[in-house]
Amino acid sequence: MLRELTGTLEDVVGLDEAAGFISVVGQRIGEQINAGYRRDLALPVLSRAQVADVLVDLKRRIDGDFRVVEQDDTRIVLENRRCPFGDKVIGRPSLCMMTSNVFGVIAAENLGQAKVELAQTIAGGAPGCRVVVHLQRTAQADAATGREYFKV
């Protein structure tokens, strides 16, 4: 159903507009997930390490295979070998906006800001995903293609 929905959106309104619609849903889901983790952990705000753990855990819960490959004060780099959407994501890059928005909202709400770079995606034909969550404005973050998120 998701593949058909995103495919129809992409065909009718175009990839950018479809990604925009998916982004709105992803933002709302990100807000709900963030609130749930903070409630369950009894924390008003998550640290960078906790944000990284949450991003991996939430994808694991929906059958993704994300892992943190690098993190420091400027970024969290994640890789994934199995998309939660399975093979239904292939050729449907707008579905990646769910990941971008959920990751971006959670990072920004806890750490102030984020820019999510979808460096490689299964949807785009790569064998896995590489997602970089930039946490600070750096030259590398400014040069990256991605969506920016800010604490509300």
How many domains does one find in the chain? 1
* Parent domain of 59: 2-150
Tell me which of 19-28, 34-43, 45-54, 122-131 is least confident.
19-28
Q: Does residue 54 carry a pLDDT above 80?
A: yes
pLDDT band, residue 2 (cuts 50/70/90): low
* Token output for 19: 């990604």
pLDDT at 16 over 80: no
Residue 1: what pLDDT? 64
pLDDT class for 125, splitting at 50, 70, 90? Answer: very high
CA distance between the termini of the chain? 32
Higher pLDDT, 91 or 116: 116
The CA angle 126-134-94, to the nearest 5 degrees, is: 45
The per-residue pLDDT for 17 is 80
Distance CA(108)–CA(85), nearest Å, equals 24
Q: Are 125 and 131 in contact (CB under 8 A)?
A: no
pLDDT at 18 > cutoff 70 = yes
> CATH number for the domain including 38?
3.30.1380.20
| The overall pTM is greater than 0.95 | no
pLDDT class of 12 with cuts at 50, 70, 90 = confident
Which of the pair, 108 or 96, is modelled with greater confidence? 108
